[in-house]
Chain A
Amino acid sequence: MQVDVTGFKLERASSVSGNFVATDNNMGLLSDPNRRRALISLLTRLNAPICVVCYMAGVAWFMGLAFEPFTLRTYMSENAMGSTMVEERFPAGEKALATGREFAAHKKKAGGMPVDWLVKTMQSRGLEVFTQRFSRTLPFPDENKERYMVKGTNVYGILRAPRASRTEALVLSAPCTPGDNNNQAVGLLLGLAQYFRSQVFWAKDIIFLVNEHDLIGMQAWLESYHHTNTTGMDWSPLQGRGGSIQAALSLELSSDVITSLDLVLEGLNGQLPNLDLANLFYAFCQKIGVLCTTQGKLQRNDWDSVSGYSHAVQTMMLMVMKQASGRSWGDHGLFLRYHIEAATIKGINSFRQYKTDITTIGRLMEGMYRKLNNLLERLHQSYFFYLMPSLSHFVSIAPPPRTEDGVVDPEQMSSPGVLSVLTPLVISHLTGVALYTLPIRFQEMAVEHFPVSETEAVVLTAIAAPVGGGTEQGWKVLKLVAVLYLAVLLGCTALINFSLGFILAITLVPVAAFVTPHVPKFLSAFVMIVLSPACTLLFSVFFFQELQEMPISFLDGWMLYLSVISQGILDHCLYGSLVYPLIALLVYPCWLIFWNILFWKFVFTGGNVNDSLTHWRDWKRRGCGFGQSAVTPPVLGGGAVSWGERGGEEGALQVLLEQLAGDAGLPGGDQVEVRRVPVLLHPVGGQRPGLGAQALTDHPALHPRVETVLQKHLKNQGVGSKHLNPQHSFLPSQSGRVLRGGLSIACFNRPGELQAELL
């Protein structure tokens, strides 16, 4: 059936194309210069609307992803976990709670990790127990967690699987947090260890890990396990290992009963575990009857109602924000770097009526571990890039949608421009480097001075702008570079961390689209600052709080903003999160370049393009074919002067005008936006009332400096103004737009002579 359809379609297609070819009269659509020009001019004319439409469509599409009919239901892809049935029989919830209380007592007594007690308890449960000490001095004091010099001990016990050769392992971890938190998690971990120990079906070693100082301890343990040292932490080497870790779960429980379990997936640098892990959790929650949430949001069934949809959008946007932050939202997040699928399961005790006891959670964990134990391969079947509007639905992120596509102007670089844009590029990157290094260098005044990007931006651009000044061509080249830079940057970011790419694109693409030196300065500057990375972060903080239904006042928000920045830097130093260097070293310089374009100062440097013009025109006269000339067309303002009969003239005139204005040293504000105004060839005899030849020099609006230069040029050409062909008159612009200093000129009827219209 399908084959038939395709065959039919193919036939149709071929016949259509045959017709097309026949009617097309052997000319490609783009090879015909007229059509090509038409297409290009259409694109250039419609550039702004196209950009806006693309942008809007991108955002709308993204928001549409949360709409349930557009999403896929989650399903288990992994065979080994899907079809096999496991029984959950964990009985010892009460005992686990008692162990948890005992742990709490010992924790209080020891004032930290009760190492000896844990070692003894784990040993009595038949595990091979090892400890690991670690220490780390933070680059600056962490005010949120009130720590600076961190010293701690991890305790882990390995359940050796019978008749297995230590090649694979699973990890169950629970953080030992100060205060009364997480005691139940450790209790349950020990209870599960005891129960698992008496089972025979384990094919993978199971590592029960209690880590101190949450992520720092976990980082130390993982680095030691894999013997890497990416962040300069001190740790003692591990004595026991279980082979390559296949999956890990981190457990956080702080109450004896819970109302729901929350699944946290977002890891370091926005990495996510394989979707099958989420599916597994969801499947067992369904099976055992535990309420489960993601981002703390239950899923709703009324997807067709507005509130249902907005709920899904909220959930998804929360995930986007969390992922974009690039930090690890649970202990699991650090596993992902080592290609270990991991998630954090958080017990939440709210005011709901329906409570779940710890035995049930134990059964859930048992079921998940038994299924993970059945794995033959690493989890790889399902998606790694996804967003979840609810726990049962997901959006697969295939090639990420691009919103900035319409922005790239059909311009081309001119060779003199490349060097001139180097300076602003280098300066903005140096600024980025400064932003990256300074906070850590001057740590004593660190936290206060972090949000300097705005002021810094303004100040530094003031330095950068004069240096980066240049010709009209210059800013276009620079903008082209910046736009390409941004496109590459966003493309790469979106591949690694889609959410971050999305948020950056939302804010930076408008900047990229509208910035030219000719837009109103102060309004644009304001808009640019609002859309700067730093402000984006500030808005994100408020937005995130809003999504979590915990709105905060501006002052609190500001404090939170500062702490978020310091957390970001800490995440980078401690765990190797890449968001901070990305923003500081790449995004911020990119934004600075646009800022630079906005404050572009025109400095005209004279050059002689006349020779090449003459040469080019000469060749054209001799009838060389389209597109095959060895002589490169003169390049103007980033666009090649087209070869068309009219276009060529036009382009040549533009170049001449540019040249004239440049020689005259006209300031930027007086420069003419040439490309927007069609330059016309003037018909012989002048059908319209024109200006006399003398009028060129007499024109009141002609800038005296341009006039001088023109005269000089005419003299150089060997034709005085008297020799101007009287048949040719100077016409006003047909566009009717007369800008400041507008003037029409026309001249020269000889080969190599040009007519120009200065508006």
Chain B
Amino acid sequence: MEAADWFIPRVTRNAEVNHRRKRKMAVHSCSYSALLLIICSVSVFIFADSQDTTLSGGHHAAAVEDNPQAATEAAAKTSEQPAVEERSWEATEVEEATLHEAAADKRDTPAPETEAPSPIPQPKDDFQEELVIRPLHSGDIYASFQFRTLWETDFMSGNKVSHYRLFPKSLGQVISKFSVRELHISFTQGYWRTMQWGQPFQPAPPGAELWVWFQDSVTDVDGTWKELTNVLSGIFCASLNFIDSTNTVQPSASFKPLGIGNVTDHRFLRYATLPLEIVCTENLTPWKKLLPCGSKAGLTVLLKSEKLFHSSFHSQAVHIRPVCQDWQCKTTSWELRQTLNVVFDLHTSGQGKREWSLFKMFSRTLTEACPLASSSKIYIDITDDPQGELFELSPATPLLSQAMVLGDRRTFSVYDLTQPVTFGTVRSLNLLIRWKSSEGDMLRPLLHAERYVAGYGLQTGEIHTLMYNNHPYRSFPVLLLDTVPWYLRLYIHTLTVTSKGKDNKPSYIHYQPSKDRLRPHLLEMLIQLPPNSVTEVTVEFERALLKWTEYTPDPNHGFYVGNQLSCTEHCRHGYKHNDGSSTFQQLERPMITFSISPSFPCKEESSFFVRVYTEPLLVNLPTPDFSMPYNVICLTCTVVAVGYGSLYNLLTRSFQIEEPSPGLAKRLANIIRKMRGVPPL
């Protein structure tokens, strides 16, 4: 119960802060802390259990893979507690010790002694960088950067955190001001070609994606969300301020917190995508500024925009979550992961030659690690080629590592940049990967999805989503999240799900209809994909006629409909984990294995969680002709109407001379005459 004790003062402090700010939380605070207490005790209890499932050979930094629920169970919304058992741990005490030492050593060097004495323990922070390179079958090359900053601090406590070392201050302030529990933001330019490239390490949809879990102390979630998006828009130089209620949803089952704390009340979750967002250097620069070494040293020198944006795919992301510092979760720390994924094209960047080097990719070579980083490594994915038949690496490295990535056991060659040996005599590292053969066939990825609009004309249409399960004998449960803007009026009664020509009844459907100009359609479904099948989800829609001020400046371009997201638990059987007998160095595991993207630790390591994004849709709405002819038509119609009207009037109006109204006597007389049947006077 230590952890629980430790939590209480923090929670109350937290409550006080909120109390001061909002003056509304007084009633809630005690029930709130009690709730947290229960949660903590539960988790401690479970930690003890989960030691059995601890994997050996973890990274030296302790990270908690925290995914409390299977998607399926979450969807059913019945069982929250049992899922917690499925935590897995990757920590060893030995590693822990070294980490602390390293951190302590590091802190000595910059050591500004101006730290004010405070009741909070000395913040410990740590920075790691890595680059994973995977040569792809198509001849393209995939480079994935990971920068991870861990900081053992508490933004939610009463004391204002004012001393930042490795952790970027701008993000720290965002966390504390908006009571963010978790923040995941990605900017992507391009669509991941699953058919050619296989599964990405971190899937991301084209455009911008943002999802945030707020602390349950936040009362006005929508207001905070609105402010937060505006602030992030400034920080990342992106048009996140276009996120409003019409494109924000609260998925009920598709997202779970990835860090500690298993609040799954989706009232505190907001999710939005902006498919139109175009990512370019102005987004890259602020992203690089968040790194401790900036773009001055270490792996970041490779991030030159003229090369990064000369690629087939570019995706950068920031993930913030609270994690446990050690396996007992005595202390929590904030983890900031910055990732950047880029795919260089064989034909445009590589001039058609299957030969890649750091210089060819980034027009830079490496000369040093980031001095602030506790670890700085390059991993080359040589899974497809363990014997060096397909491609050769130079300089060669003796270090090998094996890890599970997305359910695959992958083998990596490791270059440690903190070792001077790596740079050789020329004091610079220019990795060279040369393919020996040049065949490239299309992959058949186990799971992929596509989406398109069917039909023609501007009145109705049909959204088709195809989900391919290419596994020969396994079926996968897939949780589908679909957000459709209000201007496509979904006919939800036309929703059909078919697999292999048969109706496939979803086991869970959550549908929230749209409100015009207020909120989008939200559709979540849990579908079982039969093995070796294509599942088709169709729904018809009608295109709304917008008000004329609601059209974008380029209405004939069409309107974007955000991508669809399907997540699945994805387990592979027939794989035996042989930890003891492995000849590889277990220590060297790339950080990608500690999923940034929502990973799903099963009891077996062979099980994992995958998100698959479909492409966004471009839908044309009925658009008036805003150009000159439109004005001409308006003008001529007006002229014709005026001209015709007056002419017609002139031709047909009959004028009558109105008799002066007769006096009262005459009128009476007329009435009498009328009654008598005599013509009136």
With a CB–CB cut-off of 8 A, which chain B residues contact A166?
A: 191, 206, 615-616
Known contacts: A163-B311, A168-B618, A198-B352. The answer to whether A241 contacts B450 by CB under 8 A is yes
* CB-contacts of A369-403 with B (<8 A): 376-378, 380-381
Is A226 engaged at the interface, CB distance under 8 Å to the other chain? Answer: yes
* Cross-chain contact A160 with B556 (CB below 8 angstroms): no
Contact between A28 and B652 (Cβ–Cβ < 8 Å)? yes
Complex: chain B residue closest to A399, CB-CB: B636
Q: Is the CB–CB distance between B453 and A244 below 8 Å?
A: yes
Tell me the complex Cα distance, A333–B138, Å: 36
* CA A66 to CA B452, docked complex, whole Å: 44
From known contacts A162-B345, A167-B615, A243-B615, infer whether A30 and B652 are also in contact, taking CB-CB under 8 Å.
yes
Residues of B close to A27: CB separation below 8 A: 654-655
Residues of chain B with a CB closer than 8 A to A162's CB: 190, 311-313, 345, 348
- Closest A residue to B350 by CB, please name it: A198
Chain A residues, Cβ within 8 Å of B189: 163
CB of A165 within 8 A of CB of B455, answer: no
Contacts of A244 in B (CB 8 A): 453, 558, 617-620
Contact between chains at A228 and B455 (CB < 8 Å): yes
Contact call A160/B655, Cβ cutoff below 8 A: no
Contact B557 A378 (CB under 8 A): yes
Cα A339 to Cα B655 in complex, Å, equals: 54
Asked if A419 is at the interface (CB within 8 A of a chain B CB), the reply is no
Q: Is the CB of A228 within 8 A of B454?
A: yes
User: Which residues in window 450-476 of B have CB below 8 A to A?
Assistant: 450, 452-458, 462, 464
User: What is the size category of the interface that chain B forms with chain A?
Assistant: 35 or more
Min CB–CB distance A645 → chain B (angstroms):
17
Q: How far, in Å, is B626 (CB) from chain A's closest CB? A: 9
For B650, give its contact among A29, A126, A163, A198 (CB under 8 Å): A29
A259 to chain B, nearest CB (A): 34
**Do residues A627 and B654 form an inter-chain contact, with CB atoms below 8 A?**
yes
Q: Whole-angstrom distance between the alpha carbons of A259 and B440 in the complex?
A: 40
Selected contact of B195 from candidates A197, A199, A240, CB within 8 Å = A240
Once the chains bind, are B309 and A28 in contact (CB under 8 Å)?
A: no
Contacts of A339 in B (CB 8 A): 456-458, 620
The reply to whether the CB of B426 lies closer than 8 angstroms to some CB of chain A is no
Q: Are B312 and A377 in contact (CB under 8 A)?
A: no
Most chain B C-beta atoms within 10 Å of own C-beta, residue among A160, A166, A227: A166
The yes or no answer to B627 lying at the interface (CB within 8 A) is yes
Q: Is A26 an interface residue (CB 8 A)?
A: yes
Q: Does B49 belong to the interface (CB within 8 Å)? A: no
Give the residues in chain B near A627, CB-CB below 8 Å: 654
Q: Are A198 and B195 in contact (CB under 8 A)?
A: no
A 449-475 to B, binary, CB cutoff 8 A, 1 in contact else 0: 000000000000000000000000000
Beta-carbon contact of B195 and A128 below 8 Å:
yes
Please, what's the 1-or-0 string for B81-117, where 1 marks a CB less than 8 Å from any CB in chain A? 0000000000000000000000000000000000000
User: Is the Cβ of A165 less than 8 Å from the Cβ of B190?
Assistant: yes
State which residues 578-635 of B face A: CB under 8 Å.
Answer: 615-620, 623, 625, 627
A377 touches B651 (CB 8 A): no
A555 at the interface (CB under 8 A from B): no
Question: Would you call A148 an interface residue if the criterion is a C-beta within 8 Å of the partner chain's C-beta atoms?
Answer: no
Given contacts A28-B651, A197-B347, A226-B456, contact A165 B191 (CB under 8 A): yes
In the complex, how many angstroms separate the beta carbon of B650 from the nearest chain A beta carbon?
6
Give the residue name and chain of the B residue nearest to A166 (CB).
Answer: B615
CA distance A422 to B545 in the complex (A): 40
- Tell me whether B456 and A338 are in contact (CB under 8 A): yes
Contact B464 A29 (CB under 8 A): no
Q: With the chains together, A163 CA to B457 CA distance in Å?
A: 29
Q: Known: A27-B655, A31-B652. Is A200-B348 also a contact (CB below 8 A)? A: yes
In the assembled complex, the Cα of A381 lies from the Cα of B628 at a distance in Å of: 9
Our pick among B207, B309, B311, B351 for the contact of A165 (Cβ within 8 Å) is B207
User: Are B454 and A227 in touch, CB under 8 angstroms?
Assistant: yes
A609 at the B interface (CB under 8 A): no
CB-defined interface of B651-672 with A at 8 Å, one 1/0 digit per residue? 1111101000000000000000
Tell me which residues across on chain B come within 8 A of A240, comparing CB atoms: 195, 450
Picked from A29, A128, A198, A337, the residue with its CB within 8 Å of the CB of B348 is A198
Interface presence of B337 (CB below 8 A):
no
Q: Within 8 Å of chain A (Cβ to Cβ): is B314?
A: yes
With a cutoff of 8 Å between Cβ atoms, the chain A residues found around residue B314 in the complex are 163
Residues of B within 8 A of A167 (CB): 275, 558, 560, 615-618
Q: Is the CB of B456 within 8 A of A337?
A: yes
Residue of A nearest to B655 (CB): A26
Q: Is B550 at the interface (CB under 8 A from chain A)?
A: no
Nearest 7 A-B pairs (CB), nearest first?
A: A165-B206, A227-B454, A31-B654, A26-B655, A377-B556, A163-B190, A167-B618
Q: In the complex, given contacts A20-B650, A226-B455, A240-B195, what are 4 additional A-B residue pairs having Cβ atoms less than 8 angstroms apart?
A: A123-B440, A165-B190, A240-B450, A244-B453
13 interchain pairs (CB within 8 A)? A20-B650, A31-B655, A123-B441, A129-B442, A167-B275, A167-B615, A198-B348, A241-B452, A244-B453, A337-B456, A380-B625, A381-B627, A626-B654
